[in-house]
Amino acid sequence: MTTAKHTSPSSHGVPEVGNPPAFPMTRRCPFSPPEEYRALREQGPLVRVRLPSGQHSWVVTRYAEAKQVLTDPRISTDPTQPGFPTTNPESCEAGQRPEGQFIDMDPPEHTAYRRMLISEFSVRRINQLRPAIQRVVDQRVDAMLAEGGPLDLVEWFGLPVPSIVICELLGVPYADHEYFESRTRTFARLTTDPAEANAAVRELRGYLAELVARVEREPNDGLVSRLFTERVATGELTREALAGMAFLLLLAGHETTANMIPLSVLSLLENPAALAEIRADPGLLPGAVEELLRFHSAVDWVAFDRMAVEDVEIGGQLVRAGEGIYVLGASANRDERAFDRPDEFDIHRGARNHLAFGNGVHQCLGQNLARAELEIALRTLFERMPTLRLARPVAELPLKSDSAIFGLAELPVTW
C-alpha cells in the first residue's frame, strides 16, 4: 500500500559526468526487476543516472545503502526542496506539496499526520477488519464461479478486492470505483501525456473534496467521516488537508495491492510445489506473502525518491546537499549481499526484512492491511478454486511496464 509521487525538476542535482544510463528502466518479465539492475549493483551501491527531465540523480542499488537512505534524517522526501528528482517534469504536482499529502513531508509535519492514522492501520485494527475482507473476497470468488472461465483475474478479482475494501474503510462509494480507478491508471502511466495526467489528478482531488463536503452534511462510519468529526470540526485539520489525506489513502489502498494479487497468483501457479505446501499447511502463507512482496517489489523506485539536505556519505560515495536520490527497492530486494539466492522464489526464506514497504519513518502505513488482503485473497482463491490454472502462456501475458507501479495488465485464468 504505497503510492506514486510526482516531483519537481531542477537544474541542480548530480554533476553531469560521462554518459549515465537513462532512468527509469523497463521490466520485461513478471518475475524479475529490470535486467539492468544486476549490472548497476555490480557497478556500486550508488550509480548516477539520467532522468527524462535531463536532470541527473543517484540511484541506490544495494540493500544496506537503501536502508541507510530510507532512515537518514539528512535525506528529505519533500518535493519542494530545490534539486528534488523527477521522472515527470510537467506534472501538476511538480514542485508542489499538496496539503494533507503527508508522503511528501518530513518530520515533524509528517509525524503529526501519521499519528492521526496509525491506530487505523495497526495490527489490532486490521485483525478486526479481517471478517470484512473475507466477505469481500468470498463475494468476488462467488462472482467468478458464477461467470465461469476463462476470465481475467485482474478485472474480476485482483482490482475489485482492494478497491472494495479501501472504499468501505474510507467511506467512499464503491459505485464510483470506475471513476477513481481510471484516473489512477491515467496519472500512474509513465507514458501519459502530461496534460492528461494533470487533469486526472485534478479530477480525483476534486472528487475527494466533494466527498469531504458530503460527509460534513451526511456523516457515515468511514474513516474520512471520522477524521472530519475528530480533526476538521475541532480545527486540527482543514478540509483541504483531509481531502489530501483521502487522495493518498485511496490511491495507495487499491493500486499497489491490486497489482500484487495477480502477480502473487501467477507466481504460485508457476511454483506448484510451493503452492502444494501452502495448501497442505496454510500456516506457511504469511511467510509466503513476505517472499512474494520481496520477490516482486511492485512499487520499486516510485515511492522512494529523496534528496540530500546535507552532505552525506552513502556506501563510500559523497552525496552533496541538493542532489537527488532514488532507492531501487526491487534491486535492494534482490541484493546478493542481503539475501541468499535472491532470484529464487522461496516461501521458507523468512523474508520479512524486505524493503517492499520501505523503511524508517516513511515505512508504508498500510502494510498490515496489504498483508491481510494478500493472505485472505490467496488462501480463499486456492481453497475454493483448487483447479485454478492459467488460460494463456506466461510469455503472452501483457505487462504494465509503462506504469509507475508494476503489475499485469491481464491474467486470463480458468478452472
Tens of pLDDT along the chain (415 residues)?
555 453 333 333 444 456 899 999 999 999 999 999 999 999 999 999 999 888 899 999 999 999 999 999 999 999 988 878 988 766 545 556 789 999 999 999 999 999 999 999 999 999 999 999 999 999 999 999 999 999 999 999 999 999 999 999 999 999 998 888 888 888 888 888 888 888 988 999 999 999 999 999 999 999 999 999 999 999 999 999 999 999 999 988 888 999 999 999 999 999 999 999 999 999 999 999 999 999 999 999 989 999 999 999 999 999 999 999 999 999 999 999 999 999 999 999 988 899 999 999 999 999 999 999 999 999 999 999 999 999 999 999 999 988 889 999 999 999 9
Rounded to two decimals, the pTM is 0.92
Alpha-carbon distance 275 to 378, whole Å? Answer: 10
β partners of residue 399: 408
β partners of residue 319: 312
Q: Count CB atoms within 10 A of the CB of residue 131.
A: 10
Residue 35, Cα to own-chain centre: how many angstroms? 21
Burial grade of 279 (CB within 10 A; 0-12, 13-18, 19 or more): middle
β partners of residue 50: 22, 56
Q: How far apart are the first and last CA of the chain?
A: 29
Closest to 100 (Cα-Cα) out of 114, 90, 118:
114
| Fold assignment, 36-414 | Cytochrome p450 (1.10.630)
